[in-house]
């Protein structure tokens, strides 16, 4: 009888342990579903709102660059004339890649 009682107790513990494990798995599954829903919401937000705003910013940058390229020469001419009259010979509205103030040390050594 002791063996049957021990076997019954062991089966009860195993059943309870399996039930606890099953409950925990179900809870984890529910939490995983919630996380997937939140992740889907974040992805949807990035695909719609952020991409749209980045595209708008890109259009704005293109517009500013176009305006700058259009105005650069007349404004540069005017600044050059004002600088000439004031005694300052530096022309400041050039492209950064052509401006010697921004050249690297290697480029300056090569030109020397």
Ordered by start, the domain boundaries in the chain are 2-101
**Max Cα–Cα distance, the chain, nearest Å:** 116
Give the chain's mean pLDDT: 76
Confidence of residue 97 (pLDDT cuts 50, 70, 90): low
d(CA 79, CA 92): 8
Are the beta carbons of 80 and 91 closer than 8 angstroms?
A: yes
pTM to 2 decimal places: 0.42
d(CA 41, CA 18): 35
Give the pLDDT score at 111. 47
Which segments of 46-112 does DSSP mark as H helices, in order?
51-86, 105-111
User: In the predicted model, what is the mean pLDDT of residues 37-49?
Assistant: 89
Give the pLDDT score at 18. 83
pLDDT score of 103 more than 80: no
């Amino acid at each position: 009888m002791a063996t049957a009682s021990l076997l019954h107790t062991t089966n009860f513990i195993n059943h309870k342990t399996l039930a606890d494990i099953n409950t925990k798995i179900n809870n984890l599954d529910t939490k995983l579903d919630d996380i997937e829903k939140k992740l889907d919401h974040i992805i949807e937000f990035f695909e719609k709102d952020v991409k749209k705003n980045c595209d708008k910013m890109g259009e704005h940058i293109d517009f500013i660059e176009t305006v700058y390229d259009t105005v650069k020469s007349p404004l540069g001419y005017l600044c050059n004339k004002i600088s000439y009259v004031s005694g300052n010979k530096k022309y400041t509205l050039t492209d950064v890649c052509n401006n010697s103030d921004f050249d690297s040390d290697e480029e300056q050594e090569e030109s020397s």
